[in-house]
Amino acid sequence: MSIWLLRLAIVVYLVATVCQMAYLTTLKESVRKWADKLSWGAFGLHTVVLLVRLFEGGYAPMTTLHESYSFFGWSILGLYLVIQLRYHIPSLGAFATPLAMVMLLGAAVTPAEISELPPALRSGWLPVHVGFLFIGDAAFALAAVAGFMYLIQERQLKQKRLGSLFHRLPNIGVLDEINYRCLTIGFPLLTVGIITGAAWAQEAWGTYWSWDPKETWSLITWFLYAALLHGRMTIGWRGKKAAVWSIIGFASVIFTFLGVNYILPIFIPSLKSLHIYG
């Protein structure tokens, strides 16, 4: 049942994305209202999808690649809606909603079968560890989105060519603030995710840290964001440098999510992670 609901959610995501982009083009208030309603509708329906999957499988839907794509997309859209309530920036949806939809499409094209969990995953640590990591990654995704929008605005200002898109996007000060706020959400969640993962590893395998490739890249990602936050808070990094670092950091997030399992072994066959998707 959950797969049919997921397909319906994808349709709503798609329509919401079209409306978000249409608002960016037209700036019509009626289009904005429909974009907001459809985005909330997509999030609500997606929440139902995850709950149905939870009851069907009997465990937190975060273990397979299908479930991970789905939960990641849900986290991105949900966090975008929370930020929208705080900052009221409709144009942000034209960049955030498509990213969430891409994750949902990833879920749609990966196997959706529900199988019994291996013993190591039958733990209360599963929703805590994975949930914190994915919600933190969603915050980093939105930080990268704000950084990308910042680079668009900064380039137009630098070239003194203020096109129609310039007046449709927030000013660079607001984008820089959103970037920073998302980083301050994502970094603590990533930290807690790594710590709970270490506690879970000790319980399951008798060691807190084994330098598994996914653990190592998670740590690399942590250091990237730690350096970025340190730069912002103590050195005064702002604007373009912070935006570029946010995009690089999110690239590391995606590599940790997918590249470690599916790209790294192609070049270094001996580096296979034990943290595989079911």
Task: Quick: pLDDT tens for 77-136.
Answer: 999 999 999 888 889 999 999 999 999 999 999 988 888 887 777 888 889 999 999 999
Q: Residue 200 is which amino acid? A: W
Q: Which two tokens stand for residue 124?
A: 């209360």
| CB contact at 8 A, 182 and 140 | yes
- Per-residue burial over 40-67, b = 16 or more CB atoms within 10 Å of its CB, e = otherwise: eebbebbeebbebbbeebebbbbbbbbb
According to the model, what pLDDT value does residue 275 have?
A: 67
Q: What are phi and psi of 110, to 5 degrees?
A: -110, 155
Task: Give the model's confidence band at 1: pLDDT under 50 very low, under 70 low, under 90 confident, else very high.
Answer: low
Distance CA 198, CA 127 (A): 14
pLDDT at 159: 76
The residues, ordered by sequence, that sit 6+ positions from 173 with a Cβ below 8 Å of its Cβ are: none
Side chain identity at residue 81, one-letter code: L
| Per-residue CA distances from 47 to 70, 75, 209, 219 (Å) | 10, 10, 33, 30
* Better-scored residue on pLDDT, 173 or 207: 173
Sign (positive/negative) of CA torsion 139, 156, 33, 17?
negative
**Beta-carbon count within 10 A of 227 CB:** 14
The length of the chain is 278
| Inter-residue contact 216 to 116 (CB < 8 Å) | no
- Per-residue model confidence as pLDDT tens digits over 46-80: 999 999 999 998 888 998 999 999 999 999 999 99
pLDDT higher than threshold 70 for residue 277: no
Closest CA to 57 of 125, 138, 133, 3: 3
Q: Torsion angle, CA of 101/48/60/82, rounded to 10 degrees?
A: 60
| pLDDT digit string, tens, across residues 164-184 | 777 788 889 999 999 999 999
pLDDT at 270 over 70: no
3-state secondary structure 34-51: HHHHHHHHHHHHHHHHHH
Average pLDDT of the residues of the chain? 89
Of the two residues 277 and 168, the one the predictor is more confident about is 168
185 with 139: CB under 8 angstroms? yes
Instruction: Determine the Cα–Cα distance for residues 230 and 19; give it in Å rounded to an integer.
Output: 38
Where do the domains of the chain lie? 1-112, 124-278
Helix (H, G, I), strand (E, B) or coil at 113: coil
